[in-house]
Amino acid sequence: MRRIALLLITAVTLLLAGSLGFHAEATIGSGTQGLPSAAKAFSPVDRVACRFAGPLCPAGYTRVCRPWRCWCTRCR
């Protein structure tokens, strides 16, 4: 019983210390400040999926799935 209590106190202490020292700092605003506007709007994931034919959709189309139905739609 003493071992479980010590383990629980140690876990709570570590979680509390970790939460006090954690800071999330995103670089979205200042990280793209010097780049041209075309580079800011670039998404490589969006374009690669539309260049090549996939296993179910031809080139220029991407697969879209909703509940109970999937279909191929033209890439934007």
In a domain? residue 62: yes
In a domain, 59, yes or no: yes
What confidence score (pLDDT) does residue 59 get? Answer: 82
Structural domain boundaries enclosing 62: 44-76
33: pLDDT strictly greater than 90 = no
- Whether 38 maps to a domain, the answer reads no
Q: Is the confidence at residue 56, as pLDDT, over 70? A: yes
pLDDT for 17 beyond 80: yes
73 domain residue, yes or no: yes
Residue 31 lies in a domain: no
Give a yes or no: residue 76 inside a domain. Answer: yes
Q: How many domains are there within the chain?
A: 1
- The 3-class SS string of the chain reads CHHHHHHHHHHHHHHHHHHHHCCCCCCHHHHCCCCCHHHHCCCHHHHHHHHCCCCCCCCCEEEEEECCEEEEEECC
63, pLDDT greater than 70: yes
